[in-house]
Amino acid sequence: MSGTPRVIPNLDACIDCGACEVACNRTWDLPQDSNRIRVVTHNEGEQGGRFNEGETNVPMSCYHCEEAPCMDVCPTDALYKDEEGLVQITKEDCIGCSYCAWSCPFGAPQFPEEGESTGDAGPMDKCDLCKPRLDEGKDPACVSECPTDALVYGKPSEISAEVRENRTGDLFKGDLAGVVFGDD
């Protein structure tokens, strides 16, 4: 299993308060409509929980996949893995083709300057796991600000027990577990 740190949502704890979104935008001085992290609501208004088709809130951001499909399709190699294994972008190399967005099963790549047509999307933007904060020994901003501990941060070996306990791993069914965590 990869030693790349990740932020994984605890689906039982998220209350759709938006603190993660605000923390990210405030920390990095991003526009209000930035989507480096966003809470997606499934089965809105339905009674019950996530295991019986009830409303479920899922904080979504880049999972810094071990087998990152966005990297595989980037024609300019603008996406790369840094020394920690985090998927990062060299914005100057991005041509705005949107291939990464089409290939990502989680919708992580965003195009804040997107025009009206494919190929006119401007440089891609996505979660970088708050790399500058990590370098200072801090947790990602979204994790630090979440009032319900709905975001679990760490390397897979460190957080696997918690992910199993709260059944967050169910989010990565089928081939998605191999994409995010690799085949080990």
Q: Is there a contact between 24 and 141 (Cβ–Cβ < 8 Å)?
A: yes
* H/E element, 31: none
Domain count, the chain: 1
Q: What is the CA radius of gyration of the chain?
A: 16
CATH code where residue 112 lies: 3.30.70.20
How much is the pTM? 0.85
- b vs e for 84-94, b when ≥16 Cβ sit within 10 Å of the residue's Cβ? ebbbbbeeeeb
Tell how many helices (H) and how many strands (E) occur in the chain. 7, 6
CA distance 114 to 9: 28
Domain span at 172: 6-181
Residue 81 located in a structural domain: yes
pLDDT of residue 90: 96
Residue 1 located in a structural domain: no
Output the tens digit of pLDDT for each of the chain's 184 residues: 468 899 999 888 899 999 999 999 999 998 877 889 999 887 777 776 655 667 788 899 999 999 999 999 999 999 999 999 999 999 999 998 889 999 999 889 988 776 654 566 778 999 999 999 999 999 999 999 999 999 999 988 888 777 777 766 667 777 777 777 776 5
pLDDT of residue 79: 97
